[in-house]
Amino acid sequence: MDNRTEELQRNLAAVHQRIAAAARAADRDPSGIRLLPVTKFHPAADVARLISLGIVDVAENREQEARTKAEEVSEAQVHMIGQIQSKKANSVARWAAGVQSLDSLKLAHALERGMGLALERGERASELLPCHLQLSADGDPQRGGVLEADLDQLAQVVAESQHLHLAGLMVVPPLGSDPFRVFARARELSDGLAATFGRRMSLSAGMSGDLEQAVAAGSNIVRVGTGVLGRRPVP
């Protein structure tokens, strides 16, 4: 095992310990909380190292970087967590194991079309693309996310899609906000969707700096970059 792999192993253990401690404090079962390492700007070799350490799912913010890593490390399940331009939907549909930044009807329709094309061309094996709807906590269109007022309509469209699977919600707290309050509201909305559609919905919330608050609020997926991979290299 090389030095970098040992470093990643230590970091993973430390983050898992944080998750477990936060779960105990919230009287939750840690097995219900999944760690999703964010490999943005880190090389594909680090993704391969994570695979060797038992990590299968990783997340990326940029389509081109995500696609490249999915191609270079075929064992990895790469999830898109960054904003997606509709014109990139066909590409995302070919390689994505999941999308956590679906935030508009336009993008939902584009991903549905892209999935149909990918399946027709034999570019994808899985017939369903798990999608978390990205919730806007402040209404800023530059940050992405669907407004609460539009959430039910978007959820209905995704749920009725042939190739998209409504998996739950994702949220990023705005700068200066109280992360716990943002996460707790997202949990309420996720539970509301679960009641509407009669099945469980997961919440993807929490990063390196606020995963404890996210776990306390009921997050099922924490997206951790720096805590696992260290400081991002300058692109």
Q: Which percentage of the chain shows pLDDT scores above 90?
A: 94
Q: Say if residue 63 is exposed, middle or buried (CB neighbours under 10 Å; 0-12, 13-18, 19+).
A: buried
- Token duo for residue 170: 């994702």
Q: How far apart are CA 135 and CA 25, in angstroms?
A: 26
Q: How confident is the model at residue 144 (pLDDT cuts 50, 70, 90)?
A: confident
Q: How far apart are CA 226 and CA 232, in angstroms?
A: 7
Averaged pLDDT of the chain: 96
**How many beta carbons lie within 10 A of that of residue 53, not counting itself?**
16
Q: How far apart are CA 231 and CA 14, in angstroms?
A: 16
Q: In this predicted model, what pLDDT tens digit does every residue of 25-35 receive, in sequence order? A: 999 999 999 99
Ordered structural domains, the chain, with CATH: 3-227 (3.20.20.10)
Distances (CA, A) of 206 to 96, 161, 173: 21, 28, 9
Q: In this predicted model, what pLDDT tens digit does every residue of 99-143 receive, in sequence order? A: 999 999 999 999 999 999 999 999 999 999 999 999 999 877 778
CB 211 within 8 A of CB 25: no
CB 145 within 8 A of CB 137: yes
- Token duo for residue 124: 């994808």
Q: In this predicted model, what pLDDT tens digit does every residue of 15-71 receive, in sequence order? A: 999 999 999 999 999 999 999 999 999 999 999 999 999 999 999 999 999 999 999
Q: In this predicted model, what pLDDT tens digit does every residue of 162-192 receive, in sequence order? A: 999 999 999 999 988 999 999 999 999 999 9
The pLDDT of residue 56 is 96
Enter the pTM of the model.
Answer: 0.95
Handedness of CA 184, 190, 192, 198 (dihedral sign): negative
Q: How far apart are CA 78 and CA 69, in angstroms?
A: 8
The pLDDT of residue 235 is 59
Q: Look at the chain and count its residues.
A: 235
DSSP assignment of the chain, as one string? --HHHHHHHHHHHHHHHHHHHHHHHTT--GGG-EEEEB-TTS-HHHHHHHHHTT--EEEESSHHHHHHHHHH-TT-EEEE-S---GGGHHHHHHH-SEEEEE--HHHHHHHHHHHHHHHHTT--S-S-EEEEEEEPSS--GGG--B-HHHHHHHHHHHHT-SSEEEEEEEE-PPTTS-HHHHHHHHHHHHHHHHHHHTS--EEE---TTTHHHHHHHT-SEEEESHHHH-SPPP-
The pLDDT of residue 143 is 80
